[in-house]
Amino acid sequence: MSFTRVIAVARKETLQILRDPRFLFLAFAFPVVLIFLFGYAITLDVREIPTVILDRSNSTHSRQLIRSFVNSGYFSEIARANSEKEITELIDRGEAAFALIIPFDFAEQLQRDRAPVLTIADGSDANTSQSIVAYSRRILTDYNLKRVGSAIGIDVSKMRVTAQTRFWYNQELDSRHFLVPGLIALIMTTLGALLTSLTVAREWERGTMELLISTPIKPVELALGKLLPFYVIGMFDLFLSSAVAVIIFDVPFRGSLVLLTISSSLFLAAVLSMGYMISVVTRSQQLAYQVSMLASFLPGLLLSGFLFPISSMPKAIQIISLAVPGRYLIDILRGIFLRGAGLDILLPNLLALAGFTALFAILAVLTFRRSV
């Protein structure tokens, strides 16, 4: 392998990129713009669930119950309904996600054995409704306990089992800390595959591949030369996005910068060689684009653990997710940023990425040789 030939190809590729200012701008600046936008825009936090209340009892007891819901901080009353029809309408239109209905005889029932109330959750938003179930149950149990306590004149806070809970790695439970490292990984996965997927296909489409083949360059040299400029762009983007995450969004950075550099390099090597392989196999830009999008974006979004915990997926899907490079980077970034994880914990992820790189690189070079 000749180093000069690699550099020559890299220079040609760099010149081509530099000649297209728009592409350059998009590749360099846009990932950071996206992190900015999403960092502000997206959050999974469920609080102030819009609640509609129908109080038919209108007694001191019912008002007390309503207060314990509203004062909990989880539910915020957006409307007082006069009929069940109004409640149906509000939930149908998606304006309310939770309804509390207190029947006429609530106060009388409370003098007896049990007093039923009706609660309705909008189940079409699964994330919110899960929280609604958990929160509303808690509030009711708490309310009942206090009633028992005040009836027999003892302080229930002395009688209950409480949890002294510590939230590790993300004390304020800020979903941004969880999402921003994932976003960096998602953007880099897709960008890495996209940037390179066209590079060989374009040479075929434009007929310049024949020219390249007639030069003494070897397939490995061509691949390295073509990937080098994209590697530089990718590393630049990764560091800039990480800086934005830490400086603007206060995502803690507890791990080591060296480890971040090593793992980002390995990751980029994996996705860039994947993109390169796609490019070699497809030979058409439209097809290369479609394939690399399918291979990177949606799997990166849905199978990587970015949003949906991998451990909750069925076993078969968990196995498929092993083939998604983004999953390893997400693990690594969250580990380095939030948990301050070291090499010993992240090693399996790094090895997986190295395996990917080797596999794609060998496949790409072999296919290339055959197609020439």
Beta carbon of residue 57, minimum distance to other proteins (angstroms, whole number)? 11
Q: Does 349 sit near other proteins (CB under 8 A)?
A: no
B/e letters for 125-142, b = 16+ CB within 10 Å, e = fewer, are eeebbebbeebbeebeee
**Rama region for 250: left / alpha / beta (φ>0; ψ in -120 to 50; rest):** left
Q: What is the DSSP string of 2-45?
A: -HHHHHHHHHHHHHHHHT-HHHHHHHHHHHHHHHHHHHHH----
Footprint of other proteins on 185-214 (CB under 8 A): 187, 190-191, 194-195, 198, 202, 205-206
Q: Are the CB atoms for 353 and 270 separated by under 8 Å?
A: yes
Encoded one letter per residue, x for contact with other proteins by CB under 8 A and - for no contact, window 53-92 reads ------------x-------------------------xx
Q: Does 258 sit near other proteins (CB under 8 A)?
A: no
Helix (H, G, I), strand (E, B) or coil at 144: helix
Query: In this structure, what is the dihedral angle of CA atoms 307, 312, 317, 318, given to the nearest 10 degrees?
Result: 90
Footprint of other proteins on 226-255 (CB under 8 A): none
Q: Are the CB atoms for 120 and 87 separated by under 8 Å?
A: yes
Q: Does 355 sit near other proteins (CB under 8 A)?
A: no
Footprint of other proteins on 17-46 (CB under 8 A): 20, 22-23, 26-27, 30, 34, 37-38, 40-46
Beta carbon of residue 270, minimum distance to other proteins (angstroms, whole number)? 19
Footprint of other proteins on 304-343 (CB under 8 A): 307-309, 311-314, 316-317, 320-321, 334, 338-339, 341
Beta carbon of residue 1, minimum distance to other proteins (angstroms, whole number)? 28
Interatomic CA distance for residues 172 and 132, integer angstroms:
20
Beta carbon of residue 31, minimum distance to other proteins (angstroms, whole number)? 9
Q: Does 274 sit near other proteins (CB under 8 A)?
A: no
Q: Which is nearer to other proteins, 103 or 220 (CB)?
A: 103
- Name the phi and psi angles at 170, rounded to 5: -155, 70
Beta carbon of residue 341, minimum distance to other proteins (angstroms, whole number)? 7
Beta carbon of residue 260, minimum distance to other proteins (angstroms, whole number)? 17
Q: Does 347 sit near other proteins (CB under 8 A)?
A: no
Encoded one letter per residue, x for contact with other proteins by CB under 8 A and - for no contact, window 149-188 reads --xx-x-xxxxxxxxxxxxxxxx-xxx-xx--------x-
Bridge-partner residues for 76, per DSSP?
A: 50
Alpha carbon distances (Å) from 369 to 26, 165, 281: 32, 59, 11
Bridge-partner residues for 3, per DSSP?
A: none
Q: Which is nearer to other proteins, 11 or 160 (CB)?
A: 160
CA atoms within 13 A on the CB side of 159: 11
Helix (H, G, I), strand (E, B) or coil at 172: coil
Beta carbon of residue 153, minimum distance to other proteins (angstroms, whole number)? 9
Footprint of other proteins on 281-300 (CB under 8 A): 282, 284-287, 289-291, 293-294, 297-298
Q: Which is nearer to other proteins, 5 or 186 (CB)?
A: 186
Interatomic CA distance for residues 171 and 325, integer angstroms:
29
Footprint of other proteins on 86-145 (CB under 8 A): 91-94, 109-131, 133-138, 140-145
Q: Which is nearer to other proteins, 4 or 312 (CB)?
A: 312
